Structure 1
């Protein structure tokens, strides 16, 4: 790697709370006036039923079980990254930048855990690995999330808002010469949960939600959740969904279609509440960008222009940006912003593991 050239070949790796799989993007970054990027290869390796169950149940594991899972997942993740390298015949590689998989996220308790970030990952891959990006921010008093806004500034600055619809909806708002970003509400963690009750992996195009009917009482209960009245910085984890959202939905005793329909309107209203009334451009990425019914609801409740980019950006934006976070860490430059996470200071987060010895 030659930092004088400001050119990096990086594999960005992301696993989200919706448990769709592991997203991998092989990206060439170049620093000229700004950071430019080109995705050279990308794919998603779906989780097996075994890993879906393990990762979904891990929130209930004790420390011994979590340690065992962390070791197993680190080896599994390394194997999947190796598979990606082999399938796409990648021979020029400066580093791998990996998010790992979030098991617990409790920033108010000064704790967040992403597994798959053990030092052994660099040994398995025989390559420099930059990972564990969230822990330092939490130690500095931040939420440890969201981390993608630095990429929204450096790679997607032409949009006022960048909205990601994954397990949760999170947004970056670039205004007043600064950026704020935060989680808005749960999205695919809820939609997938209910689609699976009907034997489907997810709600394709939002068809299930579109087929239902609105329940006004349920909608009001959802919109009354206290999280929505909190000011940023703020972030969400699966713990919140289980403790706050699912009890309301289950208690409604409605059909799956009616629950999903009402919840989709809830998501659209919460997103609209975070947007101003100008016709600003909103870049929409994440799996939820393929939910055409949800996008129609966004357009109904907001005056903004919702831009759906090419599939590569929709699916791999987070993996691309974690690649950029890795580049910034290697350059010892700021990759996490205090205005976004609430940390005491801007900082360069992440841990670097070399194949032979650790930094």
Structure 2
């Protein structure tokens, strides 16, 4: 039985930092198994957080320079992690950080040069998982559903509350998934404006009240009416959501409370719309799973027939890094890791580019 020893790297739209998960992944009885042996979260310094957030405004040559330097930085962090934990590693599988995502224009870009990462770490690297799917006419997102299907198939729905909310589920033997809409991206934008890193456990939002004008504006965003497959990126947030937040002259408590109500309402609507049984289980991961007020609000909107399952903190924090490790294993073994039923591409694919150190 071959055990792949691989580090998954993930930087998401919430911009809270880099996640590293050292995983053992193997196939047993035609089913994939995993063990997260070690993990590490590296918060972004304020300067890096701002540079990643504003990368969509860089010129082409500035963006490519940052692509290379960020790749080198990723390699350094991986090497430090390996040395600290004395790890035996076969590969690094990196999501990079999405700076541009406009699949309707055939464009998606995740910075973090694979060659620079490989050279700095001294290990083979698999990255750039989205480009091939976009070239095949797909959204290039979401990618996590392959891991939902192979690792977490016992749940009726897999819900991720990261910067963006997305979910995946099975319909007649096919995995369906799409970005629902907002989650922590809006919440974090507002808390950071108020001088907080995030709303710990939803304590601030719990104190607020609904701002009806803001809630109506968020609920009326055109994206929510689009059919799937569909996905959103930071550009959509800047263009469509930031103006609503900025136009809302209210307390931070009320703005966050309203944002939570919006997220819960839209997520609950999508889960209930796709519920086919009398009882369902929903695995909830991503930073939003730790926002107690959001989870309580969502559970109330779902009612008694849908149970939200909050897993261990390690799974909450490192599920995406784990699944990108799996995607790397599937790429190395020439197996499908991106699902056309999810992205809308012309066909399933084994995506990702392999870089060797030199």
- Fold shared per TM-score above 0.5: yes
1:109 Cα offset (Å): 0.7
| Aligned residue pairs, count | 351
2:115 counterpart residue number: 119
* Equivalent residues of 2:337, 2:349 under 8 A apart: yes
- 1:335 equivalent to 2:332? Answer no
* Cα deviation digits, residues 271-322 of structure 1 (max 9, x gap): 0111125431000001111000000011111131000000110000000000
1:69 counterpart residue number: 66
- Equivalent position SS for 1:240: helix
- Equivalent position SS for 1:67: helix
1:247 counterpart residue number: 243
Partners of 2:75 and 2:248 in 1: CA distance: 43
User: Which of 189, 195, 199 is the equivalent residue of 1:203?
Assistant: 199
Q: Which runs of 5+ in 1 are unaligned?
A: none
1:171-250 pair list within 5 angstroms: 171-250=167-246
- 1:165 equivalent to 2:167? Answer no
1:235 Cα offset (Å): 0.5
Q: TM-score scaled to structure 2, two decimals? A: 0.96
Partners of 1:258 and 1:240 in 2: CA distance: 23
* Equivalent residues of 2:19, 2:321 under 8 A apart: yes
Q: Which runs of 5+ in 2 are unaligned?
A: none
Partners of 2:116 and 2:330 in 1: CA distance: 22
- 1:269 equivalent to 2:271? Answer no
Partners of 2:338 and 2:203 in 1: CA distance: 37
* Equivalent residues of 1:196, 1:202 under 8 A apart: yes
* Equivalent residues of 1:213, 1:258 under 8 A apart: yes
- Equivalent position SS for 1:329: helix
* Equivalent residues of 1:6, 1:32 under 8 A apart: no
User: Which of 113, 138, 141 is the equivalent residue of 1:145?
Assistant: 141
- 1:284 equivalent to 2:280? Answer no
* Equivalent residues of 1:59, 1:103 under 8 A apart: yes
* Equivalent residues of 2:72, 2:113 under 8 A apart: no
* Cα deviation digits, residues 117-151 of structure 1 (max 9, x gap): 33222121111111110111111111111000000
Partners of 1:46 and 1:191 in 2: CA distance: 18
* Equivalent residues of 1:182, 1:232 under 8 A apart: yes
Superposed CA RMSD in Å reads 1.0
* Equivalent residues of 2:73, 2:117 under 8 A apart: no
* Equivalent residues of 2:70, 2:113 under 8 A apart: no
Partners of 2:160 and 2:314 in 1: CA distance: 14
Partners of 2:242 and 2:124 in 1: CA distance: 41
- Equivalent position SS for 1:119: helix
Partners of 1:83 and 1:29 in 2: CA distance: 22
Partners of 1:76 and 1:354 in 2: CA distance: 17
* Equivalent residues of 1:130, 1:351 under 8 A apart: yes
1:268 Cα offset (Å): 0.3
Partners of 1:218 and 1:129 in 2: CA distance: 44
Partners of 1:212 and 1:324 in 2: CA distance: 41
Partners of 1:324 and 1:143 in 2: CA distance: 20
- 1:306 equivalent to 2:308? Answer yes
1:71-110 pair list within 5 angstroms: 71-90=68-87, 92-110=88-106
- Equivalent position SS for 1:334: coil
